[in-house]
Amino acid sequence: MGKVIQVRDLVKWYGKQVLALNKVSFEVDEGDFFVIIGPSGCGKSTLMKILAGVLEYDAGEVYIAGKNMKGVPPHKRDLSLMFESYALFPHMSVFDNIAFGLRMMGKDKEYIKRKVSEALALVGMSGFENRSPLELSGGQKQRVALARALVVEPKVLLLDEPISHVDYQLQRKLMEDFKVIHKKTGNTFVLTTHVQDHALTLADHMMVMNTGVIEQFGTPEEVYCRPKTVFAARFVGDINLIPGEVASKDGDMYVVKTEIGEFKAASSGEGHIKPGTKLAYGIRPQYIMVNKSVKNVNYVKGKFVRNYYFGKYVECIFNVDGKAELKVSVPPEEAVNLKLEKEYTLCWNLENSVLLEKPSVIEGLNIEEVIYGK
């Protein structure tokens, strides 16, 4: 499979103060649904604008479909950019909004009519040709903006936070739509978001960004199950992190000494971690079991101190020796039987834990500082 986007050592400064992209390198496969996830201000929009050709950069290289994009204007890049604020022209009808790009390309009337009609059908908005954008709901505007971006048949569609700012129901619907439309068109989609669920659900491949850098690249499953840094583990999914030190290694099993006991972890197969190494021991809340005995497990006693109801599950907080708190996702029907202030045994399988040596790819950070935000 060809690489449709190749970015190498991309650097972007805003003035002399803000280093928005610090040697960012990545590649996107042709036809991929590629999601860039990271907190607000990490540089997602900056990256999208540079890909689109509407923002200058300071160093590095950007290739689209194998061509160096240096000096190539936006309309010659074979891509469309859809911003979070969908920016439809309010004084033009839906038809004219979508036709705009095709008219700029000098296409004839019949062709434009057919393509606009196809694009509207694709986003489920047939029959809305003569409406004004002012007469559309948020979700409908979003679909028209998507049709406008798709109608020029770009190789790459850049979607900058297209679903983060609408209500939850609509987010779900738009996610399904994006996925279906991606499949139908076979185009490469690059979408940014700060919402972990969107990234995990939509992406074929994803990239986790932290201030100007890439923390991790991989499939949603790789990033979720085998996070490489504390930052990535935390940003994509909830996780309990306990600072510790590797006490020993026995075959494929590590023993990690922490303030609340010694815990075992399976070797992830990614290199050997030396005894004495300081790291974070991580276990996601859904893998911890309350009062169950499972073979070959880690266990610890904790006092049930608080809970948060989420409908599908209850997040129960257990205090261990006054030294640490562990979050556990408990099915509601089991949570009703737990008594506040009572002590329970918590256990988890060693396969489900992760060992994180690095707080972040950003150098010079201390694990405990990153975990506790000190």
Ligand X SMILES: Nc1ncnc2c1ncn2[C@@H]1O[C@H](COP(=O)(O)OP(=O)(O)O)[C@@H](O)[C@H]1O
Q: Contact positions toward ligand X, by CB under 6 A? A: 14, 18, 20, 38, 40-46
Stretch that binds Mg ion, among 42-50, 86-94, 232-240, 324-332 (CB under 5 A): 42-50
The 3 state secondary structure assigned to the chain is CCEEEEEEEEEEEECCCEEEEEEEEEEEECCCEEEEECCCCCCHHHHHHHHHCCCCCCEEEEEECCEECCCCCHHHCCEEEECCCCCCCCCCCHHHHHHHHHHHCCCCHHHHHHHHHHHHHHCCCCCCCCCCHHHCCHHHHHHHHHHHHHCCCCCEEEEECCCCCCCHHHHHHHHHHHHHHHHHHCCEEEEEECCHHHHHHHCCEEEEEECCEEEEEECHHHHHHCCCEHHHHHHCCCCEEEEEEEEEEECCEEEEEECCEEEEEECCCCCCCCCCCEEEEEECHHHCEECCCCCCEEEEEEEEEEEEECCCCEEEEEEECCCEEEEEEECHHHHCCCCCCCEEEEEEEHHHEEEECECCCCCCCCHHHHHHCC
- Which of ligand X, Mg ion, none has residue 237 at its interface (CB below 5 to 8 Å by kind)? none
104 binds, among Mg ion, ligand X, none (CB under 5 to 8 A by kind): none
Distance, CA of 40 to CA of 99 (rounded, Å): 33
Q: Minimal distance in Å, beta carbon 42 to ligand X?
A: 4
Tell the smallest beta-carbon distance from residue 52 to ligand X (Å).
13
**Which of ligand X, Mg ion, none lies near 18, with the C-beta cut-off 5 to 8 A by kind?**
ligand X
- Complex with ligand X: residue 14 or 89, whichever CB lies closer: 14
Measured from the CB atom, is 21 or 152 closer to ligand X?
21
Question: Of these partners, ligand X, Mg ion, none, which one is at the site of residue 43 (CB under 5 to 8 Å by kind)?
Answer: ligand X
14 binds, among ligand X, Mg ion, none (CB under 5 to 8 A by kind): ligand X
Inter-residue contact 263 to 353 (CB < 8 Å): yes
Work out how close the CB of 175 gets to ligand X at its nearest, in angstroms, rounded to a whole number: 19
Q: Which is nearer to ligand X, 16 or 312 (CB)?
A: 16
Verify binding: residue 45, Mg ion, rule CB under 5 A.
yes
161 or 177: whose CB is closer to ligand X? 161
Look at residue 121 and give the partner it binds from Mg ion, ligand X, none, a contact being a CB closer than 5 to 8 Å depending on partner kind: none
* Least spacing, CB of residue 178 vs ligand X, in Å: 19
- Residue with smaller CB distance to Mg ion, 70 or 165: 165
Of 74 and 124, nearer to Mg ion (C-beta) is: 74
Query: Smallest distance, Å, CB 20 to ligand X?
Result: 4
DSSP bridge partners of 229: 358
Tell me if 211 contacts Mg ion by CB under 5 A: no
**Interacting partner of 188 out of Mg ion, ligand X, none (Cβ under 5 to 8 A depending on kind):** none
Near Mg ion by CB under 5 A, which window of 38-46, 70-78, 163-171, 207-215?
38-46
Interface residue list for Mg ion (CB under 5 A): 44-45
